[in-house]
Structure 1
Amino acid sequence: MYQTDDLNYHKKVLPTMYDLKSEDPEEPGLPDEFHNFQPHLLRKTFHPVNYSPDEMFIAIDMNLYYDVRHTGWYKRPDWFAVVGVDRLYEQQDMRLSYLVWQEGVNPFVVVELLSPGTEKEDLGQTLRKAEQPPTKWEVYEQILRVPYYIVFDRYTDKLRAFQLTGSRYTELELIEPRIWMEDIGLGLGLWQGCYEGIERLWLRWYDGQGNWISTPEEIAQQERQRAENERQRAENERQRAENERQRADRLAQKLLDLGIDLED
């Protein structure tokens, strides 16, 4: 995290998000349908227990600028989240990109969805020449020091998680495909279910009790189901009361037929 004086200096002398490009059509790894759906499921279920929505920023396929000496260098994670930062840029505008020298807070977790064109770089298996920008792995591990780096391969359904330990990433041994992040009171794991009409394994967040966090659409559906259950319960109760009334009427009629005075 940057000091306040550093932030003020950088805002005066370095490019802002309005100065740098927000996308590059030449960038490899163009999104497929899975790359469209999966990040939004992560965004909809990311609710840290100790941060309000106004104290965090979630980005999908957004330029992440990281080097004050090379202000044009950036990485473009499939999904990342920053906690302890204003939801809006300078509390007033939606972001075009995320510039660490302007924001002062680095991402807390980055998720990359493997694709054939980006797999080696995502896993830190590529080499670079000295004059070239660092790889994603180097940026996340050594420059931004992102505490959690998550990699998911939808073709093999393999989930890998790396946690920053000292100055290096250590791969976590996953007995089951879940990673708990104590600092935010959330876990990330593989969920078998239907999202956007597609049944498969999806990455999504879960709470401290191990329950999958619901999306707004699921919450709305649950509310509709509760309302329908309540309506059905009320209808059943009304029908039961009507049946009881009819039974009492039949009994009264039988007594009258037998010449029994109901008043007696």
Structure 2
Amino acid sequence: MTGRFHKMHGLGNDFVVIDARVDAVAMTVSRARAIADRCTGIGCDQLIMVEPSDSADATMRIWNHDGSEVEACGNAMRALAVLIGKATLATKGGNVQIAPDDSGATVEIGAPRFGWQDIPLAYAMDTAAMPVGWEQLESPMAVNVGNPHVVFFVEDLDAVDVERLGPQIETDALFPQRINVNIAQMVDAGHIQLRTWERGAGLTLACGTGACATAVAAIRSRKATGPVEVAMTGGTLTIDWRDGEPIRMTGPATHVFTGEADWSRFGA
């Protein structure tokens, strides 16, 4: 059960990456949670598995820190571009194109979806300006960019208690599969400041799909024009999108080290 892993990060959003095409390991919710534990495991926000695929160059599977398997992770997609090179990846959120470049990597994650069933929401409503709110956070836009997001635009990002409100919104009954929560402040038409409460991982230094969802929401509501610079605690991503086209995300990703682990020590 001993195999190799790579520790990587995208703007501080960190991953344990296992290339199961080379070092196969049976992954379960409990094992993923144990590996991600920062005190007794290797420690990461997300565990990433690269597996064989019949429809793409490889399959990308993603487990959050809490052991839940999710559809997409933008920062990890850039990390895989650095690790394995240009490729088409099959994910639970759809196929994506990844390629390393001078900035780190560029990823095309497909076109966003806005239907209430696509998010999904518990019942029908306008996803461009949802008639709901949590304290000062009101009328968000919902968008699926391979995984589900809500985006709130506020005047003062620092005035929002993201760590308190984030988990309340994430687990609200309106979102049957939970939700990623993005709080954004427009700087100007080409720059956004963002903090993201990530479903299953909590407050993160950076969220690639969150940056994509927020840029799409800003462009769709005419607050911004692409390309948009999205600044997060861990750094900045460039996001570009036109209606009917895939979202393009560009930014850094870093390989930190390669290690070996006995996976049997992390349970079954």
TM-score of Structure 1 vs Structure 2, range by shorter chain: under 0.3
How does the TM-score come out when normalised to structure 2? 0.26
How does the TM-score come out when normalised to structure 1? 0.26
Larger radius of gyration: 1
Structure number with higher relative contact order (C-alpha < 8 Å, ≥ 6 residues apart): 2
Structure holding more helix per residue: 1
